Amino acid sequence: MVKGSVKGQGAELEFYNVTLLNASDSSLITGSAFSEVNFSLQASPAEGYILKVTSMGFLPVVKRVEASANLDVGLIVLAVETKELEAVTVKGKKASFTQKNGKLVMNIQGTTLSDAGTVFDALSRIPGLRVGTDDKVTLVDKGAPLIIVDGKEVRDNEELNRLQSNDIVSVEIDRNPSAKYDASVTSVLYIVTKKKKKDHLSLQLSGRSRNGLGLNVKQSYNPGIKVNFRKGRLSNYITYHYGEWNYKGNFSGHLTNKVGEYSYESNKRGLWNNGYKSQRAFWGSTYDLAKGGSLQAQYSFSDYSNEHNINTLLTLRDSDSEITRITDTKRHSDGRLHTLALVYEARIDSLNSLTFGTDYSVKDNVSRSDIFEGNVAYADRTRTRMRNDTEYSVASGKIDYRGELSGIGVQAGAKYLWTQNDGLAKSLDLEDGGVNFNNGNETLDQIFASYLLANKSVNKWSFSAGLRIERTKTNVKLNDRVLLDTVYVGWYPSASVSYALESEAKLSFTYSRKIQRPDFWSLNPSISYLDSLLYSQGDPTLSPASIDVCNLNFSLPLGLSLFAEYEYYRNSIMWTAINSPGTVGVVKRIPINLSKTEYLNFGANYNFSLDKLNLNSSVRVGVPFIKVPYMDGFRELRDPFCSVDIDGDYSLGKRFQLLAGFHYISRRMRDLTMYAEFWDSSLGLQAKFLDDKLLVTMRSKYIFSSDSFRWLGRYGTIEQGHNDKTNRRALIVYVRYNLNEFKNIFKDKSGGNDALRRL
C-alpha cells in the first residue's frame, strides 16, 4: 500500500494522476486519478518504486521511493507551469482512449470534447455510444447503460441534463460490470467530473436550439441557468432548464395474416406531429465534515406536457372484401417526477470509508387519447376515448463500505429497493357513453441485495473477485385479482484478471453473471389495441433471464484497443406474434421465454492524432445464435451485424475548430424483427470568444443519412412491417457563457435507477 497527499502550490487542484512504476525496469505497477487531497494505491511487492504525480497546468513530480508494506510518502506539492509550458499543453490537447482493468476510459478534460456543449453533445461524439433525439443514451449491442456520476447513480435523464461537457474529466465504459452493481446492469457509463473546494460564486447561462433543415419541421429550444456557490464547508447548487420540442414526420406500415384459406391484410400510411414541453429544477447542498466525509441533501423536480397527433389511412382486406378507414388520434399526456435524496459519507481514515444513502421518488403519467375512426365508403364511425394513468413510487436505502483488510482491497454493501406501479386503463365509447373496458393493475417489486468484492495486485497482475446475492419478491394484480406472487433468490458472481505487458500493452479478462428482469410492460396483462387487427398483451408469468458474460480486452500502444465478448442467456425474453384465440384474423403480440440464446461480439477502438487533426473511431461486429420455436419447427437466427463510428476535429487556429462525424449500423435482428441499415453524418464549426468565456457551436446533423427507419417481422404466417420516413436533417446551435469559472459539484445520489429504467 502506497499513500500520501497532493496539493497545488498557490492554485487549486481539481484532480491529479498518481502512477507507480517498478524501479528496476520502469514497468507500470498501478495508477489512478484522484480528486481529494489524500490518495492511496494497492501496490505489488517490488525492490523499489518510481512515483509520478501529474496534473494539467502543473509541473509533474517524479521521485524514487523505497518499497514497504505500508508506505506513506507524505505531502507532495505541485508547482504551477509557466505560460510557455501551458501553451505547449494546450496545443497538444487531444481526446484519447485508455484501458483500465478491462474498462475503456475516454479523457474529456483538456481535449476538444470538453467544448462539445451539453453532456449529451459530448457523449454523442464518443465512438460506440448513441444519443437519440430524446437524449436517451445507449451503448451499441448493449442497450441503455447504468449511468454513474462520481459514484452516484443517475436516476433520470432529466437529472443528467444538468451537466455540461466542460464539467467532465473523463468517461469510463464498462461492458461487463462487477458484482458491486445491480445484477440487472449489463453495462456502466461512469462519468468523473471536476470539483472545486475554494469559496466561490459561479453562474452559467446556456442555450441549445435545434432547427429542421428539411420538409419536416423539427424545432427544439433548451435554455438553462446554473448557480453554484460555496462558503466554508457548505456548498449549494441550483439549476433550472426549460425545453420545447416540435417534430413532424410520415409513416407507413402493413400487417398480413393467413389463417387457413383466408388472408387478412391491413395497410396504413399517415402523418404524425409531436409537441413537447418540459421544465427541470434541481437543488443540492453538501456540508464537508471536519474529520472527513460529508452530508448531502438534494431535491429534483421535472414535469412535461406532450401533444401527439396521428392521422392514418387504414385499408383492411380479407379474402372477400376490402374496407378503407380513416383514423384520427389526438393524444395529450402529462407527467411529473419528484426525487428527494440524502447521503452521509463517513471517512474512517484515508483508506476506509462508509456511505449511507436513502431516497424516494414519485413519478406519475396521465395520458388521454381521443380516437376517431370512420369508414370511407359508409357513414358508420366510432369515437373512443382511451385513458391510461400510471403512478410509480420508488424508495431505496443502501450502505457501502470501501477499505483495505490485510493488504486486500475490499468493497461491501447492501441495498433495499421498493417499487410500486399502479395503473388504470379505461376505454369509453363517446358515441353512446358506454364503457368498453376499465382495468386497474398493480405491480409491486421488492429487491434486497448484498455484495462483497475483493481485489489484489501482485507484480504486473491484478485480480478481482466478487459475489452478489439478490432476493426478489414480485406481486402482480389485475382488478384486485392476484395474477402473480413469486419470490426468487439469485447468486451473481464476478471475477477479473489483468496483466500489464511491455510497451504499455494490457490484457484483461472479466466474467460476470447478470439477470434480465421482465419490464413492467411485459408483465402487464392489460390489452393495448394498436389497430383493428393488432393488439399487445403482457404475461405476468414470464421468468427472468440469467446471463453469463465473458469479456477479453487487449489494449495496445498508439491508441488501439480490442475486445471480444461472449454472452449466454437462459430464459431470454423475446416478443413474438400469434393469432388471437377466438378472434379470426386478429394478431396478438406477446412476450415469451426462450430456453437458450447466445451472442458473440467483437470490437476495436482507435485514436489518431496528428498536429491539428484528431480522430476517434470504433468498429463493432456481432453474431447472434438464437433458436426460436417457429410454426411446427424451429427458426435459427445467425445474421451478423456491424457498426462504425468516426468522430473528428481539426483546429483552425486558437479560436475555431472544425467538427465532423459519421455513424453506421448494418441491418440487424432483434427478437424476430429485422431492422434496416442506418447511417448519418454531421459537420460543424466551433468558436470561442471573450477569453474563452463565450462558446458558440453550430453543428449540422444528418446531412447525408438514410431517410427512413424501417423494420420487418415475420412470425409464421404473420408478417408486420413499418417505415418511419422522416427528414432528420437539423442545424443545432449551442451557446454557453461562463460568469466566473463554473464547476458542477453536485451529482445524483439516487439508488433506484434500475427500477425507473424498467418502468
How far apart (Å, rounded) are the C-alpha atoms in residues 69 and 569? Answer: 44
| ∠ CA 507-512-513, rounded to 5° | 160
Strand stretches in 159-293, DSSP E = 168-174, 188-193, 200-212, 218-221, 224-231, 234-259, 262-288
| Least confident segment among 185-199, 327-341, 408-422 | 185-199
> Which pLDDT does position 255 carry in this prediction?
86
**Confidence class for position 491, pLDDT limits 50, 70, 90:** very high
What's phi and psi for 11, nearest 5 deg?
-155, 155
Does the predicted TM-score (pTM) go above 0.85? no
pLDDT at 553: 92
CA dist list (Å): 48 to 4, 28, 533, 540: 17, 12, 75, 61
Cβ–Cβ under 8 Å, residues 683 and 701: no
292-301, 508-517, 523-532, 628-637: range with highest mean pLDDT: 508-517
- Rounded Cα distance between 114 and 103, Å, is 21
Q: What is the pLDDT of residue 362?
A: 94
pLDDT of residue 704: 78
pLDDT at residue 567, rounded to an integer: 95
Per-residue pLDDT at 745: 45
Residue 218's pLDDT is what? Answer: 59
CA gap 300, 462 in Å, rounded: 40
Residue 167 DSSP one-character state: G
**Is residue 604 predicted with pLDDT exceeding 90?**
yes
Q: Which of residues 658 and 269 earns the better pLDDT score?
A: 658
Q: Which three cell numbers stand for residue 405?
A: 483488510
Give the per-residue pLDDT at 83.
40
Provide the pLDDT for residue 466. Answer: 96
Instruction: Supply the mean pLDDT for the chain.
Output: 82
157 pLDDT band, cuts 50/70/90, is: low
Confidence (pLDDT) at 356:
94
Let me know how long the chain is: 759
Per-residue pLDDT, 412: 97
Q: pLDDT at residue 642 above 90?
A: yes
Q: Which of 22-31, 134-143, 144-153 has the lowest mean pLDDT?
A: 22-31
Q: What is the 8-class DSSP label of residue 27?
A: -
Instruction: For residue 432, give every residue at least 6 positions away whose Cβ sits within 8 Å of its Cβ, in sequence order, or none.
Output: none
What per-residue confidence (pLDDT) applies to 730?
A: 78
Residue 225 scores a pLDDT above 80: yes
What's the CATH number of domain 1-88, 2.30.40.10, 3.40.50.720, 2.60.40.10, 1.25.50.10? 2.60.40.10
How many whole angstroms separate alpha carbon 691 and alpha carbon 57? 17
- The whole-angstrom separation of Cα 467 and Cα 464 is 11
646-703 pLDDT per residue, tens: 988 898 988 898 999 999 999 988 777 888 898 889 899 989 888 878 888 888 877 7
> In this model, does residue 62 exceed pLDDT 70?
yes
The closest of 235, 118, 113 to 169, measured between CA atoms, is 113
For residue 127, what are the CA distances in angstroms to 138, 644, 648, 679?
Answer: 11, 8, 10, 14
| Position 512 pLDDT exceeds 90 | yes
Considering 106-110, 519-523, 545-549, the range whose residues carry the highest mean pLDDT is: 545-549
CA distance 620 to 604: 7
Query: Which range, 70-84, 346-360, 474-488, 592-606, is most confident?
Result: 592-606
pLDDT interval class at 92 (50, 70, 90):
very low
Note the pLDDT of residue 577: 86
Name the region of 716 (left: φ>0; alpha: ψ -120 to 50; beta: rest). Answer: left
Task: State mean pLDDT over 543-558.
Answer: 91
Map grid coordinates 462525424 to a residue: 661
Cβ atoms of residues 251 and 725 within 8 Å:
yes
> What pLDDT sits at residue 568?
96
CATH topology of domain 200-577+586-758: Maltoporin; Chain A (2.40.170)
CA distances 589 to 331, 370, 534, Å, are 23, 23, 8
Beta bridge partners of 634: 629
Regarding beta strands 587-610 and 534-537, do their DSSP bridges make them parallel or antiparallel, or are they unpaired? parallel
Q: Give the 3-state secondary structure of 602-645.
A: EEEEEEEEECCEEEEEEEEEEEEEEEEEECCEEEEECCCEEEEE
Give tens-digit pLDDT for 362-420. 999 999 999 888 876 656 778 888 888 989 899 999 999 998 888 888 999 999 999 99
- Tell me how far apart the alpha carbons of residues 77 and 11 are, in angstroms, rounded to a whole number: 10
Mean pLDDT of 236-264: 82
pLDDT recorded at residue 66 = 78
So where are the chain's domains?
1-88, 200-577+586-758
The residue with cell 403480440 is 589
Listed residue (329, 187, 216, 220) closest to 268, CA to CA: 329
Beta bridge partners of 643: 620, 665
- pLDDT of 756: 44
- The most confident of the ranges 82-91, 253-262, 549-558, 737-746 is 549-558
| pLDDT band at 87; cut points 50, 70, 90 | very low
pLDDT of residue 645: 92
